[in-house]
Chain A
Amino acid sequence: MITRREVLKSAAAPMIVPSLVLGQRAGAVPPSDQIVFGGIGIGARGAHVLSKLLTFRQARFIAVCDVRNERREEVKSMVDQKYGNHDCQMYDDQFALLARQDIDAVLIATGDRWHTPLAILAAQHGKDVYCEKPCSMSMEESWALADAFRRYNRIYQAGCQRRNGANFELCKELLKSGALGKLQTLYANVGPSVNWPPLPSRDWLAAEEPPPRQVLDWERWLGPAPWRPYNSAYVRGGWRNFYDFHGGGILEWGSHTVDLCQWAAEFDDTQPVEYEPVGANTGPYKVLCKYANGVNLVMRDDGWDGSLKTGSCSFRIEGDKGWVETGDATRIESSDNIKPLLRPTEPASLALVNHVADLLRCIKTRQAPSASAAAAANSHITCHAAFIAYQRGKKLAWDPGKREFTNDDIANRMRSRALREPWRV
Chain B
Amino acid sequence: MQQTTQPAPAAQAAKPKPPSPPPAFQEGDIARMDAPALAGVLTDARSTEFQKAKACQRIGELGAKEAVPALAALLGDEHLSTYARYGLEPIADPSADEALRAGLSKLKGNLLIGVINSIGKRRDAKAGPALAKMMYRADADVAAAAAAALGSIGGESSRKELQAALGKTKGTTRSAVACAALLCAERLLGEGKREQALALYASLSAPGMPQPARLAAMHGIIREETSINRPR
Contact = CB atoms under 8 A, between A and B. Distances in A.
Most A CB atoms within 10 A — which of B54, B179, B211?
Answer: B179
Given A332-B3, A410-B61, A126 B19 contact: no
Nearest to A327: B8
Contacts of B166: none
A340 interface: yes
Contacts of B216: 151-153
B113 A233 contact: no
B182 interface: yes
Interface in B150-195: 175, 179, 182-183, 186
B105 interface: no
Most B CB atoms within 10 A — which of A310, A345, A422?
Answer: A422
Contact of A348 (B6, B53, B54, B141): B6
B14 interface: yes
Interface in A122-173: 123-126, 140, 147, 151-153
B215 interface: yes
Nearest to A339: B1
B9 A233 contact: no
B18 A238 contact: yes
Contact of B63 (A205, A331, A410, A420): A410
Contacts of A194: 14
B8 A328 contact: yes
Nearest to A237: B15
Interface in A222-248: 226-228, 231, 233-234, 237-238, 240-241
A301 to B, nearest CB: 14
B214 to A, nearest CB: 10
A421 B219 contact: no
B186 A205 contact: no
Interface string B69-85: 00000000011111101
Contacts of B183: 151
A162 B6 CA distance: 15
A205 B110 contact: no
B67 to A, nearest CB: 13
Nearest to B120: A424
B148 A422 contact: no
B82 A226 contact: yes
Nearest to B57: A202
B7 interface: yes
A51 B50 CA distance: 41
B26 A203 contact: yes
A83 interface: no
Contacts of B54: 202
Contact of A416 (B21, B62, B121): B121
Contacts of A206: 19, 21-22, 25
Contact of B90 (A304, A330, A416): A416
B89 interface: yes
B220 interface: yes
A331 B6 contact: yes
Contact of A410 (B62, B114, B120): B62
A206 B19 CA distance: 9
Contact of A413 (B19, B61, B148, B211): B61
A347 B4 CA distance: 8
A176 interface: no
B15 A421 contact: no
Contacts of A345: 3-4
A152 B215 contact: yes
Nearest to A244: B57
Contacts of B31: 202
A214 to B, nearest CB: 21
Q: Top 5 nearest A-B pairs by Cβ distance? A: A421-B114, A238-B18, A203-B21, A126-B212, A413-B90
Interface of B: 1-9, 11-12, 14-15, 18-19, 21-22, 25-27, 31, 50, 53-54, 57, 60-63, 78-83, 85-86, 89-90, 110-111, 113-114, 117-118, 120-121, 141, 145, 148, 175, 179, 182-183, 186, 211-212, 215-216, 219-220
9 contacts: A152-B215, A152-B216, A305-B8, A327-B8, A344-B2, A347-B4, A413-B61, A418-B118, A421-B113
Given A152-B219, A344-B1, 20 more contacts: A126-B212, A151-B183, A152-B212, A194-B14, A201-B21, A203-B21, A203-B26, A204-B21, A204-B50, A206-B19, A311-B9, A327-B8, A328-B8, A329-B5, A330-B6, A344-B3, A347-B6, A419-B117, A421-B114, A422-B145
